[in-house]
């Protein structure tokens, strides 16, 4: 399968703690993206990291990419109750003539307790 | 509009009826995607459009599912003779462009989804 696989499936932490979620994939990629979903509705794009990048920051988010291990991690620092959501990684495979689709994992359900 | 919109937001139908789900992408976005998500599951890719053509229909689960896009904008997903297993949230996303090679796929912007319940 080309889709990413998130780990863990569920994560429960206290406010103020850091949350780390991992994503593994199987094929070479152009980029990897992280999305957030609240309450089973639309996803919101968080951050995109390209295959030639190793680390990227956006506010309290830090994403790393290790193409040799085909893995990525999403770190949320100083978590808040409002960070409670499902987090998905999505890979954009380095495809030949096939264009366009992302491959989403099953997601990590993060719960942050006040 | 400011974002991707979908209608209806909720649809309850009886088994065997046909339903149409609509997606209005962000203006100027050439690529449009349909996904579905069953309760507690990840996203299942259905189909994507580049302009009005659909280069990848590989995710459509059966011939009861079809989609079209006209004028490079609005898209309609039609499910004929609905079954209970069709119950899910149907999500639409659009992106500015698709480029091959190292440029890859742009960020996808998602609509709020249509929750379909087949009784």
Helix (H, G, I), strand (E, B) or coil at B107: coil
B 53-72: CB under 8 A from A: 55-56
Each residue of A91-100: pLDDT tens digit? 988 766 555 6
Question: Which pLDDT belongs to residue B93?
Answer: 94
CA of B12, closest CA in chain A: separation in Å?
A: 17
Across chain B, mean pLDDT equals: 89
State residue B101's pLDDT score: 45
Burial class for A72, CB neighbours closer than 10 Å (0-12, 13-18, 19+):
buried
Taking the CA of residue A4 and the nearest CA in chain B, the distance in Å comes to: 11
pLDDT at B42: 81
Partner residue opposite A107 with nearest CB, options B35, B42, B112: B42
Give me the residue from A3, A94, A101 closest to B48, CB to CB.
Answer: A101
Tell if the CB–CB gap between B42 and A97 is shorter than 8 Å. no
Q: What residues contact residue A27 under an 8 Å CB cut-off, 6+ apart?
A: A2, A70, A91, A93, A94
CB of A109 closer than 8 Å to CB of A88: no
What proportion of chain A, given as a percentage, has pLDDT over 90?
A: 68
| pLDDT of B21 strictly over 50 | yes
Residue A101 has a pLDDT of 77
- Three-state SS letters, B60-104: CCCCCEEEEECCCCCEEEEECCCCHHHCEEEEEEEECCECCHHHC
Mention every residue, 6+ apart, whose C-beta is less than 8 A from residue A6. A21, A22, A23, A87, A88, A89, A105, A106, A107, A108
pLDDT digits (tens, 9 = 90+) for B23-72: 999 998 888 999 999 887 788 889 988 888 887 788 899 999 999 998 88
**CA-CA distance, A85 to B72, in Å (whole number)?**
33
Q: What is the pLDDT of residue A39?
A: 77
Cross-chain Cβ contact B108/A40 below 8 Å:
no
Residues with Cβ within 8 Å of B2's Cβ and at least 6 positions away in sequence, in order, are none
The beta-carbon neighbor of B111 closest among A42, A92, A99 is A42
Which tens digit of pLDDT belongs to each residue from B61-80? 999 999 999 888 999 999 99
Tokens of A56: 């990227």
Q: pLDDT tens digit string along A62-93?
A: 999 999 999 999 999 999 999 999 999 999 88
Q: Write the pLDDT tens digit of every residue in A13-51.
A: 999 999 999 999 998 888 899 999 987 678 999 999 999
- Residue B110 and residue B33: Cα distance in Å, rounded? 9
């Amino acid at each position: 399968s080309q889709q990413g696989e998130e780990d863990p499936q569920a994560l429960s932490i206290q406010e103020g703690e850091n949350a780390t979620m991992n994503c593994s994939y199987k094929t070479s990629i152009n980029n990897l993206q992280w999305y957030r979903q609240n309450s089973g509705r639309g996803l919101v794009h968080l951050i995109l990291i390209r295959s030639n990048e190793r680390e990227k920051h956006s506010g309290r988010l830090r994403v790393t990419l290790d193409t040799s291990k085909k893995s990525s991690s999403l770190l949320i620092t100083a978590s808040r109750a409002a960070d409670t959501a499902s987090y998905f990684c999505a890979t954009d495979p380095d495809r030949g003539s096939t264009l366009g689709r992302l491959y989403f994992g099953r997601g990590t359900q993060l719960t942050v307790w006040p | 509009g400011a974002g991707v919109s979908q209608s209806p937001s909720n649809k309850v139908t009886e088994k065997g009826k046909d339903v149409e789900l609509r997606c209005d992408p962000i203006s100027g976005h050439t690529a449009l995607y349909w996904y579905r998500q069953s309760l507690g599951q990840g996203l299942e890719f259905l189909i994507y459009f580049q302009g009005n053509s659909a280069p990848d229909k590989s995710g459509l689960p059966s011939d009861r599912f079809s989609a079209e896009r006209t004028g490079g904008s609005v898209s309609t997903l039609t499910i004929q003779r609905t079954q209970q297993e069709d119950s899910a949230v149907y999500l639409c996303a659009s992106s500015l462009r698709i480029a091959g090679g190292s440029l890859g796929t742009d960020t996808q912007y998602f609509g709020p989804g249509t929750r379909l319940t087949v009784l």
